Structure 1
Amino acid sequence: MSAHLADSVIYGHLWGTPELHALLDDEARVQRWLDILAALAAAQAEVGLVPADAAKVIAEHADVNLLDLAEIGAETRACGHSTLGLIRRLRRALPDSVGEWVYYGATVQDITDTWTALVIRDVASIVDRDLTRAEAAATDLARRHRDTLMPGRTHGQPGLPITLGFKAAVWAAELRRHRTRLAEGRPRWEIVQLGGALGTMEFWGDAALPLLAAFARHVGLAEPELPWITARDGIAEFVNLLALVTATLAKIGQEVYELQRPEIGELSEAFMPGQVGSITMPHKRNPELSEHLVTLARLVRANATVAVEGMVAEHERDGRAWKTEWIVLPEACLYSGVSLAMGCRLLEGLEADPERMRQNLEAGGSYVMSEPLMRALAERVGKHTAHELIYEATLAGRQRGVDLRAALLADHRITAQLTTEDIDRCLDPRAALGAAPSFVDRVVNEP
């Protein structure tokens, strides 16, 4: 049984992915901690702090399958220390002559923070892969629907015509920027931790700095400028980037959620046979992916807030700060991973209804075309006067229940300036697209 939905046999698929569970579950964590301990021993042997034979034996025994996780848990509860239970069990599995060299001079955060950096490295690669896929899907939508007319909306109300390609290009560009942010941040996050008791590496004497370089090399991470025991800005930055990524996916989901409403009907999620929207209303096709993207993003943003709180640490070590990361980092990674997977499915299967978009543009008497008419009139009477004239004409037309064309033709102040041909030309939705198609081309054609 599981108390956390991410580990639920029934609901786990909504809160994580198998790929991320394989990085973050107990066995994976302990195995990576063992790998870090083996790398530390190898680095210490390289700089003459640990016998080479001892380092070799430690590496041979750094296998989670040789240890009992239940026993490690019992030992951890008994001693009240987060990693001593593991160290004791590992030492018991080693020859007496080797056990003294395990964890030589290191402290909890040297192991756990290095694990964190490795997790960030691996998760960042998954995020980049799936961001690339989501961006490609959004870019393809922008390309295919470059000229597909639809209503643009502000404050929830129809404003001016745009194209679906323009909307998708905005999504693609935002996803692309997240990939740039990810690439820029990785050198700051993917660094080892090795500082000893207070971060000064005092225990290792003159071998300290060579050890730091060797340890980084053996682990496969970069060497930091100095230990980061209380400097948690890198982790906070990474979790906040996950919040940005999931917020973009939630924005896309929110848009599909709204536009899938039957009274709008412009976009919809792909429907899979057997999918059930309601137990009591058999006809329903709910936007399940879109809705869940918003839910996941809210949770990641909450994690990001706690990660920032972790930056406020006391003195040279503060367990209150960094132990919160043991919860928020895995959760943020799990939620972000499933959010990206769902976002890719949503974008790749998104269905558009161009005819319904056109109908919605024309609904209400084409009043969404007021700005092109105001612009044409402004050339003759000035922008502000044109706004007043068009505003008064649209107000009168709606009160009379006529379309925009009829409303304008009934106002002699407007017909004195614009011919019927001028008005009809401005009522063509393509007259109001501005540079939207060119902006789509910029995004689509960017290498």
Structure 2
Amino acid sequence: MGAHLVDSVLYGHLWSTPEIHRLLDDEGRLQAWLEILATLAEAQADVGLVPADAARAIRKHADVGLLDLAQVAEQTRATGHSTLGLIRCLLEILPPDAREWVYYGATVQDLSDTWTALLMRRVADILERDLVRAEKAALELAKRHRDTVMCGRTHGQPGLPITFGFKAAVWASELHRHRIRVAEGRVRWEVVQLGGALGTMEFWGDRALSLLEEFARRLGLGVPDIPWITARDGIAEFAGLLAMVTATLAKIGQEVYDLQRPEIGELREPFSPGQVGSITMPHKRNPELSEHLVTLSKIVRADATVAVEGMVHEHERDGRAWKTEWVVLPEACLLTGAALDFGCRLLEGLEVDADRMRENLQARGGYVLSEPAMHALADRIGKHAAHTVVYEATRAGLDRGVDLETALLADPRISGQLAPEEIARCLDVQGALGAAPAFVDRVVASCNDWIV
């Protein structure tokens, strides 16, 4: 088993996806670094800083397959430097006339931060793709269950009736806003880093700014207004977005986790034949996807906190702050990828028991409709007075074990104001749904404008 669960043969599928893992393993990271170095040499050749032949040679040898990773690791340990081991091994395979031009004037953060920007761009692509998938699944649930009545709950207790479509539409709307955040944030995250020793680009003289523009153009990244060696707000914002995305998925998972409890039994996450809930209790069907979404989000939210701490930098470079990102950002990306995969599977395969939802609503004896009764009475005696009267009537009815209609009719302060047929109208579930179905329609229409 790997030292980290994402590298475990047994458990890696729970903590990452192959797609994101390939970006972050040693081969993926080093290949990306080599490509950045080759692009830098080409940009420097374009502005007359590096011979064109040298840039072509660096590009030709920018292949992790040409390197001995064990030797790179040994040289990294021997030098105690983040990238000098890589450079020494690269120099060995380059032709002599190209060796002095690789990594020309650049520093570690030029390489690693530019890689981070490219990583965020790729992960943002995955976010957009998988958020669309999750949003579509939530919208389908909202449309299908637009009018499926159920108990709405506040503080864990039955409140007013809602529809399950309304609940799913809230999910879809939140997922949709994350897609907007991704689109809006790219301009701030996906920017190149090239500053040299302290960010002033002094090594490249009067060609510095043209080099910055060309380097960014070749990588398809934005040009910062100033190098961001100590300005880590973009990293913190991106990590914060990952935390928010996983928190939304965790909220959905928590809801399914609670409503799958047999005593409620309104939702069930997808279940595959052969899936085992308990090694000691064979009957169990555990909400594995749902609870794991909550687990993943807890860790990503913690990673985001560390990323925000990284904004506190000392002077013009501070490895104590910057290197924490080497741990938390990859982990947050890996876990978010896994969460999106699980969240999509949960939403796409979610089983909704509409009959049980209605049964649970009816089992409340009408008490979830106390607000419509209070509203009707308020028209006669005022809202606050009506609240007091209906409150006392419902407490008395619950103590006696009778339904709400009986409790209301038994209180002369209510029956003296409202006729039996008026009380009966207050207890109509459909009339108590308010604008819930209309809100579903609004979300579906709004989100569909963005779905392609």
TM-score in same-fold range (> 0.5): yes
CA distance in 1, matches of 2:392, 2:309: 54
SS in 2 for 1:161: strand
Normalised TM-score (structure 1): 0.99
TM superposition shift of 1:319: 0.7
Using the TM superposition, give the Cα deviation of residue 212 of structure 1 relative to its aligned residue in structure 2, in angstroms.
0.3
Match of 1:283 in 2: 283
Name the aligned partner's letter for residue 251 of structure 1: K
- Whether 2:81 is the aligned partner of 1:81: answer yes
SS in 1 for 2:74: helix
Residue 399 of structure 1 corresponds to which residue in structure 2? 399
Moved more, 413-422 or 100-109: 413-422
Residue of structure 2 equivalent to 1:108:
108
Which amino acid in the other structure matches residue 275 of structure 1? Q
Correspondence for 2:413: 413
Question: 5 Å matches for 1:153-168?
Answer: 153-168=153-168
Q: Distance in 2 between matches of 1:60 and 1:391?
A: 80
Aligned counterparts of 2:219 and 2:77: Cα–Cα separation in 1: 29
The alignment status of 1:320 with 2:320, answered yes or no, reads yes
Cα distance, 1:339 vs structure 2: 0.2
Alignment of 1:94-173 (within 5 A): 94-173=94-173
Match of 1:297 in 2: 297
Secondary structure of the 1:286 match is coil
SS in 1 for 2:274: coil
Residue aligning to 1:310: 310
Structure 2 match to 1:27: 27
Q: 1:385: how far off?
A: 1.2
Deviation digits for residues 214-254 of structure 1 (CA, Å, limit 9, x no counterpart): 11112221111111000000000000000000000000000
Aligned to 1:227: 227
State the TM-score, normalizing by the size of structure 2: 0.98
- The separation in 2 between residues aligned to 1:51 and 1:365, in whole angstroms, is 84
Q: Say if 2:44 is the partner of 1:44.
A: yes
Q: CA deviation at 1:101?
A: 0.4
The gaps in structure 1 that reach 5 residues or longer are none
Q: In structure 2, the residue corresponding to 1:234 is in which secondary structure? A: helix
The amino acid that maps onto 1:440 is V
Structure 2 letter corresponding to 1:238: F
What secondary structure is seen at the aligned counterpart in 2 of 1:158? strand
- Which 10-residue stretch deviates more, 217-226 or 343-352? 217-226
Q: Residue in 2 aligned with 1:389?
A: 389
Q: Which residue of 2 aligns with 1:60?
A: 60
SS in 2 for 1:194: coil
Q: For 1:384-404, what per-residue CA distance to the aligned partner results, in whole angstroms no more than 9, with x for missing partners?
A: 111111111111111111111
Q: After superposition, where does 1:192-231 map in structure 2 within 5 Å?
A: 192-231=192-231
Show the counterpart of 2:333.
333
Runs of 4+ in structure 1 displaced over 2 angstroms? Answer: none
CA distance in 2, matches of 1:81, 1:414: 80
Spell out, residue by residue over 1:313-337, the C-alpha distance to the aligned partner (whole angstroms, 9 max, x if none). Answer: 0000111111111111110000000
Amino acid at match of 2:158: P
Q: Deviations over 1:79-114 (max 9, x none)?
A: 000000000100111112110001000000000000
Indicate the residue corresponding to 1:265 in structure 2: 265
Q: Find the residue that maps to 1:151 and give its secondary structure.
A: strand
What is the one-letter code of the residue matched to 2:35? D
CA distance in 2, matches of 1:345, 1:413: 53
- Partner SS for 1:356: helix
Distance 2:365 2:53 in 1: 85
SS at match of 2:439: helix
Distance 2:97 2:413 in 1: 101
The alignment partner of 1:263 has SS state of coil
1:6 aligned residue: 6
Equivalence for 1:436? 436
Task: State the AA in 2 paired with 1:444.
Answer: V
User: What is the Cα deviation at residue 425 of structure 1?
Assistant: 1.1
Measured in 2, the distance between the counterparts of 1:70 and 1:260 equals 50
Q: Deviations over 1:232-278 (max 9, x none)?
A: 00000000000000000000000000000000001110111111000
> What letter is aligned with 2:89?
R
Give me the whole-angstrom Cα distance separating, in 1, the residues matched to 2:111 and 2:55: 16
Which range is displaced more, 12-21 or 408-417? 408-417
Deviation at 1:141, TM superposition (A): 0.6
User: Is 1:274–2:291 an aligned residue pair?
Assistant: no
CA–CA separation in structure 2 for the residues paired with 1:15 and 1:178: 21
Please tell me the residue identity of whatever aligns with 2:398.
Answer: R
| SS at 1:150 equivalent | strand
Partners of 2:104 and 2:56 in 1: CA distance: 14
Offset at residue 338 of structure 1 (A): 0.5
Q: Which structure 2 residue ranges, 5 or more long, are not aligned? A: none
Residue identity opposite 2:324 in structure 1: T
Structure 1 counterpart of 2:266, one-letter code: E
Tell me whether 361-370 or 50-59 shows the greater mean CA deviation: 361-370
Between the aligned residues of both structures, percent identity stands at 74
Offset of residue 364 of structure 1: 3.1
Q: Following the alignment from structure 1 to structure 2, what is the Cα–Cα distance between the partners of residues 304 and 347?
A: 25
CA–CA distance in structure 1, aligned partners of residues 210 and 392 of structure 2? 79
Separation in 2, partners of 1:279, 1:244: 34
State the distance in 1 between where 2:278 and 2:150 align.
30
The 2-side partners of 1:218 and 1:440 are apart by 45
Aligned length: 447
Give the letter for the 1:100 counterpart: E
CA distance in 2, matches of 1:114, 1:419: 73
Cα separation, 1, equivalents of 2:289 and 2:59: 45
Deviation at 1:445, TM superposition (A): 1.0
For 2:11, the aligned partner's letter is: Y
Amino acid at match of 2:330: P
In structure 1, how many angstroms separate the alpha carbons of the residues matched to 2:423 and 2:359?
20
Distance 1:221 1:172 in 2: 31
Q: Distance in 2 between matches of 1:342 and 1:215?
A: 38
